[in-house]
Structure 1
Amino acid sequence: MKIMEFIDAAAHNKVIELVILAIVFDTVFGVLRAVKEKKFNSCAGIDGAIRKVAMLISLVFMLAIDMLIKINLIGFIPETARGYLGLKTVGVAEFFSLLYIAYEITSIFKNMALCGLPVKRVWASVRGFLSKYTDELPDTDELDGNSTTGSVEGHKQQER
């Protein structure tokens, strides 16, 4: 019966459901961006798929930890974020879910902006909100057209 409790807990955890929803949105906009640019990117390629699957697998393991050991990490969540989310307790799975959601939101808006959607104002608001809680946000060089990510210029060709 423990396995059924675990499946029920995973299926009805709203924060984990939000992670899954964010992953789906990021994948959709990443694929649209790949189609527009006619090349793979971090969402539509194997690296993105591995990252997304790893997020989900890690959440399953962390949910198992939460069921075995009752840990409340609510103290690590800022008061304003707790108010927005209405959280009373935060287990290990929920804590990392919130981090994954923040990561996916940045990727979603980046992909939306690079697809040409008019979301730069929304992106600026999200970036401002997230910058209150972390300094690990990606730079906006790619959105500004100044990125050299993936560029091979300036690198020597491998000798045989």
Structure 2
Amino acid sequence: MEMKILEFINMAANNKVIELVVLAIVFDTIFGVLRAVREKRFNSCAGIDGAIRKVGMLISLVFMLAIDMLIKVNLIGFIPEAARNHLGLTSVGVAEFFALLYIAYEVVSIFKNMALCGLPVKKVWATVRAFLGKYTDELPDTDELDGNSTTGSVEGYRQQEK
């Protein structure tokens, strides 16, 4: 029993895709807090909703890693071949599959928060959006970045000086 627990902890600690999720969550939180400071109000990253979402992602990954230990499932067929080759994936368990979805979601949120903080990332955002648009039609709402919203519009902010 003790060996299984140590094996599980080792598997979680050495999973590069899970590490990327944690890194994305940290960056999203940092830029969300900076955005909240700039706007002088909580937002979806720096408020309780964002915290619950982020903790929920991590807890769900722990449970999915446990499922991966019990049941060996390879979901690589659900990952587009171009993305597989780019990421160097040969096997995708349940946890990695959802981790890739979480990473895509967090990357969108990171760039949204960076742009709303006034950082000059509109071109990078357009590239990320185009890349993710190849693989999904369900990108998160970006009205704030596109100027179609009355709250958090990028247009009202001065970009950082070079």
Q: Mark yes or no: TM-score above 0.5.
A: yes
- Which residue does the alignment assign to 1:157? none
Deviations 1:17-48 (A, max 9, x none): 00000000000000000000000000000000
What TM-score results when the alignment is normalised by the length of structure 2?
Answer: 0.90
Deviates more, 1:135-144 or 1:116-125: 135-144
Q: Which runs of 5+ in 1 are unaligned?
A: 151-160
Alignment of 1:106-117 (within 5 A): 106-117=108-119
Calculate the aligned-residue CA RMSD, in Å.
1.2
In structure 2, what is the Cα distance between the partners aligned to 1:63 and 1:8? 11
Alignment of 1:11-160 (within 5 A): 11-148=13-150
* Identity level (%): 85
Deviations 1:125-156 (A, max 9, x none): 00000000111112432113331569xxxxxx
In structure 1, what is the Cα distance between the partners aligned to 2:96 and 2:146? 33
In structure 2, what is the Cα distance between the partners aligned to 1:43 and 1:16? 20
Q: Which runs of 5+ in 2 are unaligned?
A: 153-162
Q: 1:121 to 1:45 in 2, by over 3 A?
A: same
In structure 1, what is the Cα distance between the partners aligned to 2:73 and 2:37? 43
Deviations 1:98-138 (A, max 9, x none): 00000000000000000000000000000000000111112
Aligned residue identity for 1:117: L
Alignment size in residue pairs: 150
- Which residue does the alignment assign to 1:153? none
